Structures are given as C-alpha cells and as structure tokens.
Amino acid sequence: MINWQAFRLTIELAVVVSAILLMIGLPLAYWVAFSRWRWKFLVEAVVALPIVLPPTVLGFYLLVVLGSRSPLGRWWLSLTGHTLAFTFAGLVIGSILYSLPFAVQPFTASFSSVDRRLIVASATLGASPLRTFFRVVVPLSMPGMITGIALAFAHTMGEFGVVLMIGGNIPGVTRTVSIDIYDQVQASNYGAANATALLLLVFCFAVLTVVYGLNRGTSKHKLWPLGPVR
C-alpha cells in the first residue's frame, strides 16, 4: 500500500539537498554572520524570501528559466540534450532554493552567537581564519548546524508545490511522497493516502524529536525561529 519507491526517492532528494545546502550554506551563513557590509541586509532578505514566497512563484520562474525558451534552458539543452524540468537534478535545484533559509538562518544564528573574544583569541594565537572557523566556530555552533541540516532535510521531505509544478510526476524520478499522497487523495484512495501520510508524519516527527532532543539545554540562544542577529 505504501509507495516505497516514492519514499526512497524523497529521502534521496532530501539527503542530496541537505548535503549541498551544508556546502553552500556554511560559507554563506559565515559571511552573513560576520560581514560588516552595509548592504548585507539585502542578502539576508533574499535568503529569507522562500519562507514567504508561495512555492508557485518559485515553481513558475523555475519552469520558465529551465524551459527551452530561456537562454539558460537552451544552454543546458545543448549541453545534455534534455531540459532540467522533470528530472531529479531539476528537483534538486528547486529544493535547494526552496530550503535555503531553513539551513542558512540557523547556521547564521549560531555563528553570530559565538563569543567574539574566542575568535579574536584564536587569531592572536596565530590560527588562520579557516583554522579558527573549523576549530572554534564550528564546534561552538554544533547545535545550530544540526538544526539547520535537519530542518533543510525535513523541509525537503515535505516539499510539495515546487515539485508539483516542475516535477511532472514521473514514478521513480520525480514522484515524491507528497505528490504520491496527493494523487492517492485525488483518486479517492484514502487507504493508500493514509498509509503513506502516516509514515511521513511519523518519520518527520522522529527527525524533529532527535533534533530538539540533541539541542535540549545546549543553547542559550534561540536557534529557530531566528531572532535578530548580533
């Protein structure tokens, strides 16, 4: 009754997306936390956009940009012979954009809560900024980083609107759990919808329980939702 193929695909998508978000989210969050550029707030606003924008806005623009009518779409088409929409890679791109704030904001919050004196001390002892980052900032920001990754993971697991708009509902490629549940409901197969939905509910609850359990008492600051930085 449960569509295991859709479940495996969704977990795969969430793992890939959270891994990429860790790679691009860390430097971005570091920059947002420590930069003194006066227009920084603009970047912060852009990062937060997916929280307020409906998925249809993102889905619509992705469809336009990825399609063969746009220069980017044409370039990709000439490179690979197919367009990005309706592919796993297309979903990854959409999900990265859509889940970006859920990773970057907790990262930023925890980076900026690190005691500046420790960073300065590390620097005066001769450590390079990179060494300071991995030896001082990252260990002290662990709870925030775990929160960011877990939220990005869970948010991608539960993504629906963007996938509906750019996925094309292909079994094993773009038919994620949320789409499968939607299809089952639309076709009045409430039994199958319930089985898959319940599994997703339990799974996401478990992920969040682990995250908040790990974070219990370790942080003085709020990691989510993000309060004003600094």
Q: Does 124 bind other proteins (CB under 8 A)?
A: no
Q: State the minimum distance, in angstroms, from the CB of residue 220 to other proteins.
A: 24
Question: What mask, x for binding other proteins by CB under 8 A, covers residues 84 to 123?
Answer: -xx-------------------------------------
Stretch that binds other proteins, among 16-24, 49-57, 77-85, 204-212 (CB under 8 A): 77-85
- Residue 34, Cα to own-chain centre: how many angstroms? 22
Amino acid in the structure at residue 88: F
- CA dist 85 and 66 (Å) reads 6
Q: Is position 83 an interface residue for other proteins (rule: CB under 8 A)? A: yes
Looking at 15, 53, 82, 205, which residue binds other proteins (CB under 8 A)? 82
Work out whether 69 is an interface residue with other proteins (CB under 8 A): yes
Rg (alpha carbons) of the chain, rounded to whole number: 20
Report d(CA 58, CA 98) in Å as an integer. Answer: 8
**CB closer to other proteins out of 139 and 172:** 172
Q: Quick one: which of 2, 88, 160, 169 contacts other proteins (CB under 8 A)?
A: 169
Q: Could you say whether residue 168 binds other proteins (CB under 8 A)?
A: yes
Question: Does the protein bind other proteins through residue 193 (CB under 8 A)?
Answer: no
DSSP string, 75-95: HHHHHHSS-STTSHHHHHHHH
116 and 137 in contact (C-beta within 8 Å)? no
Listed as own residue / partner, the contacts of 26-31 with beta carbons closer than 8 Å and 24 or more positions apart are: 26/107, 26/145, 28/104, 28/107, 29/103, 29/104, 29/105, 29/107, 29/108, 29/111, 29/148, 30/107, 30/111, 30/133, 30/137
Q: Tell me if 194 contacts other proteins by CB under 8 A.
A: no
* Nearest alpha-carbon partner for 109 in 120, 121, 101: 101
Q: Kindly tell me which residue out of 46, 120, 187, 206 binds other proteins, with binding defined by CB under 8 A.
A: 187
6: exposed, middle or buried (Cβ count in 10 Å: 0-12, 13-18, 19+): buried
Q: Does 64 bind other proteins (CB under 8 A)?
A: yes
Q: Does 59 bind other proteins (CB under 8 A)?
A: no
Nearest distance from residue 184's CB to other proteins, in Å? 9
Report, in Å, the least distance between residue 179 CB and other proteins: 9
Q: Residue numbers of the site for other proteins (CB under 8 A)?
A: 63-64, 66-70, 73, 81-83, 85-86, 164, 166, 168-170, 183, 185-188
